[in-house]
Amino acid sequence: MDEMNQEVSGMKEFSAGDIVTGKVVKIEDKQVLVDVGYKVEGIVPISELSSLHVEKASDAVSEGDELTLQVKKVEDDEIVLSKRAVDADKAWEDLEQKFESGETFEAEVKDVVKGGLVVDIGLRGFIPASLVETYYVEDFEDYKGKSLTLKVVELDREQNRVILSHRAVVEEEESAKKYDVLQSLEEGQVIEGTVQRLTDFGAFVNLGGIDGLVHISQLSHQHVEKASDVVEEGQKVKVKVLSVDRDNERISLSLKATQPGPWHDIKNKVHAGETLEGTVRRLVSFGAFVEVLPGVEGLVHISQISNRHIGTPDEVLEEGQQVEVKVLDVDEDAKRLSLSMKELQQDEQRQEIEQYEKEEDNSGFSLSDMIGDKLDKYKK
């Protein structure tokens, strides 16, 4: 008879725990009224609207919304409903599946709390500060309202604990990018990168997913004391790939290999016959190497060091000494310069003799009358 009366009256029978659907007909400050087909409108208290704290009921729902709800309590003149319980059950099932599969998902940051961020995923999800980014974040206020890609890292339904991580997603993306870059790199390639950090032994350059090392010896054709003399952090540079060790994820790079060498176009910088200043860099048994331009050394053969006979170059020269040399020959292909100090000495002697001769001509006195053909050997 009761069932017939319900059918005639159009009223539905409800029990605690039932899942029902209804339309929001009125929103008050602390509750929402919903038509679920019962003899009175159902009440959804503000505490049952969301897993997160809600200031006003209108922040969570709007009039006319269709809601799926769980019956919490039924009396003749009152039926209490919960949206939060339905959302939580659904969310737990969804999260358990995502946790098992490792699936990522998007969620909006609803609140910034001490120690991290809170998101609404049908229930309260927490992102600890250490799991937000791969780097240290001082102020999280800018994250409020921001959508993050997340991964479930800890789930405990009994403790109502949901721990999420954005950092894990970023690390996976970086790992995938690193793998792709490693596979694409080949020895001899010239690519663009960004100087990431400087060390005593060189500079690390980010190639878009992985860092490669430019050893200090590969920064410049010239001698480099410290990396900061050549590059700075954040600088875009072109580098040549010297080697790729995929197993150990090590990449050796060269900056100097992408730049013109000190010997490039040397014939237009140094000419046979001209006099240059240089620094003695090395003494060897057969002569001395003199640097005449940054990174460009020429050989002064032992026979070209002095007018007098010497047994070893260190009888006349020492490393670091500044000297004048005359260019005898330039060979760009072989990267070879032949230099002479002796010829400059002979040139100086010739000039002195010529000066004497001029002065003698003016005075009517001939030096050659006194020393004869001894001058000839200096004129040859």
Contacts of residue 206, defined as CB under 8 A and 6 or more positions apart, other chains included, come to 193, 194, 195, 196
Quick one: 245 and 276 in the same domain?
no
**Cα–Cα–Cα angle for 159, 161, 162, rounded to 5 degrees:** 155
Q: Is residue 6 domain-shared with residue 79, that is, in the same domain? A: yes
Measured distance CA(353)–CA(347) in Å, rounded: 10
> Both 351 and 304 in a single domain?
no
Q: Do residues 289 and 356 share a domain?
A: no
Domain count of the fold of the chain: 5
Cα–Cα distance measured from residue 178 to residue 184, given in angstroms and rounded to the nearest whole number = 10
CA distance 135 to 90: 33
| CATH code of residue 136 | 2.40.50.140
Q: Are 257 and 212 in contact (CB under 8 A)?
A: no
Using the 3D structure, point to which of 258, 281, 312 is the last residue of a domain. Answer: 258
Domain membership of residue 95 (yes or no) is no
pLDDT at 280: 96
Residue 36 DSSP symbol = -
CA 196, CA 251: separation in Å to the nearest integer?
Answer: 14
Six-digit token pair at 177?
């990018």
Question: Which residues, listed in sequence order, are joined to residue 326 by a DSSP beta bridge?
Answer: 275, 340
Give yes or no: residues 284 and 334 share one domain: yes
The pLDDT value given to residue 29: 83
In a domain, 90, yes or no: no
What are the residue ranges in the chain where pLDDT is below 70?
1-12, 352, 354, 356-357, 359-380
- Could you tell me the residue range of the domain that residue 60 belongs to? 2-83
Predicted pLDDT at 1:
35
Question: In angstroms, rounded to a whole number, what is the distance separating the alpha carbons of residues 45 and 31?
Answer: 4
The verdict on residue 158 lying in a domain is: yes
Rounded to whole angstroms, the Cα distance separating 224 from 319 reads: 19
User: 366 in a domain, yes or no?
Assistant: yes
Q: Residue 62: what pLDDT?
A: 87
Q: Is position 247 within any domain?
A: yes
Amino acid, res. 332: E
24 in a structural domain: yes
DSSP state of 140: -
Domain boundary among 83, 111, 137: 83
pLDDT at residue 295, rounded to an integer: 84
- One domain for residues 27 and 50: yes
pTM for this predicted structure: 0.55
Mark whether 281 and 329 lie in a shared domain: yes
